[in-house]
Structure 1
């Protein structure tokens, strides 16, 4: 059990009450919990899963493999029926399931693992081969994890993006977003949208709607923690049509089918929860959550996500 609070007196009182009932053992400051390694310093908190990742690579027999620069090959296009059946389906499911646990502290793996998890019901050899670069990338970045700066301001900013009709089997789009508190990444998502979008603007708007709902929940959470957010949250989107539509309450004929998402975003803009801002595609940090990137681009985006390698902190 992890106890978190801003009053050591209250934390000690809770531990005393728990000890009387359950006879607990106090392990002191948090260092290791369910595979998460926590390193604290005056500059902030580093959270990684190095020991868990090392165990995973050892079980997969890839400790001696050559490291990869990215977790997913941009030239690979996975499909449900493209490949041959593998003998041991459970091994693929077990591997992907264990890899998914790494996304707690490794947002750089989100897109690759999202793609691999789409084929859990019927994995093929092509899907299993696509998982190997993830293991090789992990080999070269074992100690990488999230860094939460102690001097980071308590102010939210967010990035929203989508990859339109990218699924070759269903032509559904992918939603991707990331949310920062100051310089610290605190929430992110990669998810295939539930229905097919008929335009890139529609796909972007659905991604934006998901992000706005997440921001609303975070605002409620921080209000409960007595940390209210009075200023609108800056939300960056690289689709001009989506921004114009969000600022125009008149729905055109071709956009009526996404009226609900339009209303959600428009309502939160009017309530001053969010402030929608344009951004270039080259600066869109959510790109890493919606599509595979080449090595140089991927490295640049990952460095901006606030990830830190404890072996190479610079």
Structure 2
């Protein structure tokens, strides 16, 4: 259990109450928790999983020092195959499951892990090669970490994007967004859509609306924590057409079916909860 508060007397009181009810050991300042190493200074917190990934290398029996620069091969699409599956897929499943947990501190491998997770049922040699590629990337970036600076300004900014019709297996789109509080990444999501979309504009606008709803929720949560946000949240997007639709109250035939999503985003633009900004 991690107890976090800026009131040391409150922490001490809670520890005493818990010790009266449970067999408990106080490990003092947080250093290690469920495979996550925590380094603290007055200026920042660092989260990393270097020991966890070392154990993963041993489990995968990765012996050579070959490294790569990217988590996954670029511009390559992977799909299930009728080729013979791995004779013993248990190691593949163990490594992929461990990589899923490793994304807690390494959001840069989220997409690569999402790709290999789709082949858990019947992995083949090609899928095992992808896993080895991820591990070799992690070998070159083993001590990369998440930084949470204490001096960071307390303003939200968000980025959202979508890959329309990018899955060769079912042609569903993948949408995602990330939200920063100052320089700290506090929320990240990447998800394949449940249905196939025939409209590129609808897919783009849906992810913008989802991100807007998360921003509204985060602003409310931060307000409850007595953090005042004086500026609207910047939402960065890479599609000028969708930004213009959000700002323009005139509907045309291709956009009538997204009116509800439009109204949500449009409303928060009007009350200046968010500001839309183009990013390449």
1:150 aligns with 2:150: yes
Question: In structure 2, what is the Cα distance between the partners aligned to 1:258 and 1:18?
Answer: 51
Closer/same/farther in 2, CA of residues 256 and 151 from structure 1, 3 Å limit: same
Larger displacement relative to structure 2 (172-181 or 150-159): 172-181
Hey, what does 2:15 align to over in structure 1? 15
Question: In structure 2, what is the Cα distance between the partners aligned to 1:118 and 1:220?
Answer: 35
Hey, what does 2:218 align to over in structure 1? 218
Hey, what does 2:24 align to over in structure 1? 24
Judge conservation of contact 1:82–1:126 (CA < 8 Å) in 2: no
Question: In structure 1, what is the Cα distance between the partners aligned to 2:204 and 2:151?
Answer: 33
Give SS of 1:134's match: helix
Judge conservation of contact 2:60–2:91 (CA < 8 Å) in 1: no
Give SS of 2:189's match: strand
CA-CA distance at 1:154 after TM superposition: 0.6
Question: In structure 1, what is the Cα distance between the partners aligned to 2:61 and 2:262?
Answer: 49
CA-CA distance at 1:37 after TM superposition: 0.3
Larger displacement relative to structure 2 (158-167 or 217-226): 217-226
Matches within 5 A, 1:296-311: none
Matches within 5 A, 1:51-200: 51-81=51-81, 83-200=83-200
When normalised by structure 2's length, the TM-score is 0.93
* Aligned residue pair count: 280
Hey, what does 1:241 align to over in structure 2? 241
Larger RCO, structure (CA 8 Å, separation 6 or more)? 1
Question: In structure 2, what is the Cα distance between the partners aligned to 1:57 and 1:186?
Answer: 28
> What residue ranges of structure 2 are gaps of 5+ in the alignment?
none
Closer/same/farther in 2, CA of residues 219 and 84 from structure 1, 3 Å limit: farther
Judge conservation of contact 1:201–1:239 (CA < 8 Å) in 2: no
Larger displacement relative to structure 2 (238-247 or 214-223): 214-223
Q: Cα RMSD over matched residues?
A: 1.7
CA-CA distance at 1:247 after TM superposition: 1.1
Closer/same/farther in 2, CA of residues 251 and 146 from structure 1, 3 Å limit: same
Larger displacement relative to structure 2 (82-91 or 268-277): 82-91
Question: In structure 2, what is the Cα distance between the partners aligned to 1:245 and 1:83?
Answer: 46
Question: In structure 1, what is the Cα distance between the partners aligned to 2:202 and 2:155?
Answer: 28
Hey, what does 2:271 align to over in structure 1? 271
Larger displacement relative to structure 2 (114-123 or 53-62): 114-123
CA offsets per residue over residues 110-153 of structure 1, 9 Å max, x none?
A: 11111112222333332222111101001111111100111100
Question: In structure 2, what is the Cα distance between the partners aligned to 1:258 and 1:220?
Answer: 26
CA-CA distance at 1:260 after TM superposition: 3.4
> What residue ranges of structure 1 are gaps of 5+ in the alignment?
281-314
Hey, what does 1:229 align to over in structure 2? 229
Larger displacement relative to structure 2 (146-155 or 170-179): 170-179
Give SS of 1:157's match: strand
Judge conservation of contact 2:172–2:195 (CA < 8 Å) in 1: yes
Give SS of 1:276's match: strand
Judge conservation of contact 2:175–2:192 (CA < 8 Å) in 1: yes
Question: In structure 1, what is the Cα distance between the partners aligned to 2:83 and 2:213?
Answer: 38
CA-CA distance at 1:231 after TM superposition: 2.3
Hey, what does 1:48 align to over in structure 2? 48
Question: In structure 2, what is the Cα distance between the partners aligned to 1:145 and 1:178?
Answer: 17
Question: In structure 1, what is the Cα distance between the partners aligned to 2:156 and 2:172?
Answer: 29
Hey, what does 1:303 align to over in structure 2? none
CA-CA distance at 1:83 after TM superposition: 4.5
Hey, what does 1:254 align to over in structure 2? 254
